[in-house]
Structure 1
Amino acid sequence: MRLLENLASASLYEGAVVAKNFTAAFYAEPAKYSYFSGCSQGGRQGMALAQRYPDLFDGIAAAAPAINWNSLFVGGTYANFLMNLYGMYPPSCEVEALTAAAIEACDGLDGVVDGILSDPGACDFDPVNLVGTTIKCAAGPQANGSGNGSTTERKISLGAATIVQKTWDGPRRANNSRMWYGPGQEATLVGGIYPNVGGSLAPIGTNCSANSTCTLDPLVLFQEWIRFYVLKNPTADTSKLSLEEFEEIFDSSAREYRSMIDTSNPDLSAFRQAGGKLITYHGTADELIPFRGSVDYYQRVTKLDPNVHDFYRLFLAPGLYHCIGGPGPYPDTTFDSLVQWVENGVAPDSLLATSVGTDPIIQRPLCPYPQKQKFLKTLNGTENFICE
């Protein structure tokens, strides 16, 4: 348990103090300003510093933060749970076809067709409408999209549409009340963002044989949290859970670990009083950490402090995957904007974001929540988008 406490927060304080002492010793004077920057677990660490050690850093960039840890780590297994509950394991081609259809249906809602959903909340695409549609799939044994190079035809099943829809929506209890959030419709639900680890980071991961029989490829990162920390049984079988048992695991994780590692305390008054500045960006195509979790946290902070905009700003990044990648632009100006805010008092009205590995290169401003991008005229060019 001590190791988990170190991960949660203790090591952050100790590491910062040691680093500051080394810096002061090397330069014979302390640093004038101190900054922290991280994404995912690093983003959670940044939020932990703002919440627990508000005097340590002048500026914090906490991207796609893994806050609301217990909701995230148990809720993140929801698609795995659904597939086991229904006994349905859709091949990746069906899931990919439904994702592509959602993007195609809602792409133009922001005024420009570019493969990016600038306002995911406006997309009401229902995947059930595609049940029975014929698609092409890779033939032969498949592991999250691979095959033998040839193709075969199959129809989108009701099971695939149901699992995808419920995954987008996020976990719900038997009474239909929300437990947590799901990823956006443009998120990559199969294959994972890191190909070298395959489906272990895919929300809907399956392995399919040559005869199209598919089995679950579990999201290992989150499943192991349940086995090791919640059930305290590394060999526990989570493949036969009822909804009531899933709910109990969700609630048990929160009861035991929320105060230690959830990192979801909305009271940032001490950080504000210390003069700190905090910037978060979160991709709306993030499949691992739902961007709505960051929105939920920002809204809770705002309820406590209506002037939160003076020291903390959240920027949603349409089309961006987990931390980086995807069709949407990446805000590589985040740290520079943070420095300007801390040292010169210039708060960022937007973050300039540039796409990585796309042709053409896309540049757009990311807007401070709750503002949204508004398209003005022609494709590409930051001057064609405003925040309002």
Structure 2
Amino acid sequence: MPVTHRPIDFCNFTITYTHPGQGDHVNVYIWVPFDDWNGRFLGQGGGGWAAGWDMTLAPSVAAGYAVAITDSGHQFYPNLADMSDIRSWTLTSPGNINWALLQNFASRSLDDLPKIAQQVIKGFYGEPAKYSYWQGCSTGGRQGLMSAQRYPKNYDGIVAAAPAINWATFVVSELWPHIVMRKVGYYPPYCEFEAIRRAAIEACDELDGVKDGVVAAPGLCTFDAKSIIGQPFDCEGDARKISAKAAEVTNAIWEGPIHDNGRRAWYGIPHDTAFSLKSPFGPPNGLALTICDAKNENCKGKPFAMSISWIRDIVMRGQEIDLSDMDEEAFWNTLRRSVSEFASVISTNDPDLSEFKAAGGKMITWHGLADQLIPVNGTSDYYEKVLALDPEARSFFRYFEAPGVQHCMGGPGAAPDTVLDTIIKWVEQGIAPETLDAATVPADKAEAAKHRPLCPYPLVAAYVGGDLAESGSFECAESFDVKKRHTEL
């Protein structure tokens, strides 16, 4: 949602409540504009272990929404660094899970939020909101899907971006790069990972018919890191060559966790995805983050904070464990335990959306193909299961992939920024989105944004000629060879 920069005049309600017998205290924060209310309620999602971000309230109320978030009964987290230790609320005592707060975070508070907010809105305006919407990314995307699956009448429209579905599986699988590095006995420095990634982009960039530094056709990219073993690269002024061990590690990370019998446990990351990135919410993050000395040598792995906290503080019930030293057998055991004990609580991967459909709900999901934290194939896998159960699901649920876009934002690709407006048109005017308008964020102020259409899965935006910076130069098609087909015709 584009930010409106103007003074805002609003009333801030904070509602604190408990579920009898649970010993919890949940806070709901509701901001309602005094003037220019658009008649809509907007529930906003969180990220990581935060059930809601307070920084999302002001832009939404400035845009005319009565907006609300929940903390699901535990503290807000201002950045990812604070999310590595959650034992203050996940355990009632050493070895015992606080099921009340875990269930609040997973689902229960999501049902409470719109019910409480609508009561406040009715009391303030004399009438409830005419339409209810949800918007969130990452954890917020998972929350949106949870609302559609378990509480199908709460929202008329849901935007669930880069959703953290399959939680019990993928959060443990995020540890896979470190399992691989330990097994191979080598932790590549960032510069070596980056050199391999750039070589992959060079090899696969034009598979979509456009050279733009973005791998828009990751399914066609078969680049093998072993093909560049010995190739020179620069590591902050130090001349080096791609090592065989770095190539082995990288291929395994791209492939994702595979059992010895060849059965896939989960997905890897696409070839153009960064192995680690600086984060606006804290220290560098990524699934293959390594920390090295001043010479970019003697590197060690640093697992992602969410993996650490989920495995140590919930799956292992608060046991002190160094996940950077976990071996492969322990990884598989942990993954099985996580899925068997917690998938039904938090994974949000039920493809049966029949009640949401019957209630008249509409949902849009989009996911960046260069997401460095949540493998995008998990989302496409979920959507395909929804379609297998209901071949007509596109009538109420559409999924879009954004080439070159990282987790929720960032990257060289074009990301959508008016999805909330799009879901509103679908709900209130019956205009289903044939594409999502997307644009790049220029790194240089002198640079102009590039515009691309995002097409409903499994269609892709094929280049048909014209200015690469304009959406009209692309059309949605089943494959990227549309330009060639048009020429032949």
TM range (shorter): over 0.9
What amino acid is the match of 1:383? G
Structure 1, residues 196-226: CA drift from partner, whole Å, max 9, x if none? 312xx21111121245221112222212211
Give 1:297-376 correspondences, 5 Å limit.
297-358=382-443, 359-376=447-464
- Measured after TM superposition, the shift of residue 90 of structure 1 is 0.5
Structure 1, residues 256-305: CA drift from partner, whole Å, max 9, x if none? 00110011000000000000000001000001011111100000101110
1:296 corresponds to = 381
Change (3 A) 1:191 1:118: closer
1:284 corresponds to = 369
1:66 corresponds to = 164
Give 1:127-142 correspondences, 5 Å limit.
127-138=225-236
Change (3 A) 1:167 1:219: same
- Measured after TM superposition, the shift of residue 103 of structure 1 is 0.8
Contact persistence 2:182–2:327 (CA under 8 A): no
Distance in structure 1 (CA, Å) of the matches to 2:319 and 2:280: 25
Deviates more, 1:273-282 or 1:172-181: 172-181
Change (3 A) 1:210 1:30: closer
What amino acid is the match of 1:135? F
2:316 corresponds to = 231
Distance in structure 1 (CA, Å) of the matches to 2:280 and 2:301: 18
Contact persistence 1:80–1:219 (CA under 8 A): no
Q: Does 1:205 align with 2:289?
A: yes
Identify unmatched segments of 5+ residues in structure 2: 1-98, 478-489
Distance in structure 2 (CA, Å) of the matches to 1:302 and 1:287: 26
Q: 1:181 aligns with which of 264, 267, 278?
A: 267
Distance in structure 1 (CA, Å) of the matches to 2:186 and 2:216: 32
What amino acid is the match of 2:368? G
- Measured after TM superposition, the shift of residue 240 of structure 1 is 3.9
Structure 1, residues 44-95: CA drift from partner, whole Å, max 9, x if none? 0000000000000000000000000011100011001111222211011110
Specify which structure has the higher proportion of helix. Answer: 1
Deviates more, 1:124-133 or 1:355-364: 355-364
Give 1:106-255 correspondences, 5 Å limit.
106-138=204-236, 151-194=237-280, 196-198=282-284, 201-211=285-295, 212-255=297-340
Contact persistence 2:276–2:372 (CA under 8 A): no
Distance in structure 1 (CA, Å) of the matches to 2:355 and 2:379: 20
Q: Secondary structure at the match of 1:197?
A: strand
More relative contact order in 1 or in 2 (CA 8 Å, sep 6+)?
1
1:148 corresponds to = none
Structure 1, residues 144-179: CA drift from partner, whole Å, max 9, x if none? xxxxxxx11111111111111111111111212100
Specify which structure has the higher proportion of strand. Answer: 2
Q: 2:176 aligns with which of 78, 101, 126?
A: 78
1:382 corresponds to = 471
Distance in structure 2 (CA, Å) of the matches to 1:292 and 1:339: 27
Contact persistence 1:174–1:243 (CA under 8 A): no
Distance in structure 2 (CA, Å) of the matches to 1:128 and 1:340: 49
- Measured after TM superposition, the shift of residue 195 of structure 1 is 7.3
Distance in structure 1 (CA, Å) of the matches to 2:342 and 2:162: 21
Q: Secondary structure at the match of 1:227?
A: helix
Distance in structure 1 (CA, Å) of the matches to 2:239 and 2:288: 21
Change (3 A) 1:75 1:258: same
Deviates more, 1:205-214 or 1:322-331: 205-214
- Measured after TM superposition, the shift of residue 314 of structure 1 is 0.3
Distance in structure 2 (CA, Å) of the matches to 1:240 and 1:197: 21
Distance in structure 1 (CA, Å) of the matches to 2:328 and 2:260: 7
Q: 1:27 aligns with which of 102, 125, 131?
A: 125
What amino acid is the match of 2:454? L
- Measured after TM superposition, the shift of residue 244 of structure 1 is 2.6
Distance in structure 2 (CA, Å) of the matches to 1:210 and 1:357: 31
Identify unmatched segments of 5+ residues in structure 1: 139-150
Distance in structure 2 (CA, Å) of the matches to 1:330 and 1:348: 15
Contact persistence 1:283–1:323 (CA under 8 A): yes
What amino acid is the match of 2:418? T
Distance in structure 2 (CA, Å) of the matches to 1:241 and 1:322: 26
Distance in structure 1 (CA, Å) of the matches to 2:448 and 2:210: 15
What amino acid is the match of 1:82? V
Contact persistence 1:103–1:186 (CA under 8 A): yes
Q: Does 1:41 align with 2:157?
A: no
Distance in structure 2 (CA, Å) of the matches to 1:228 and 1:21: 36
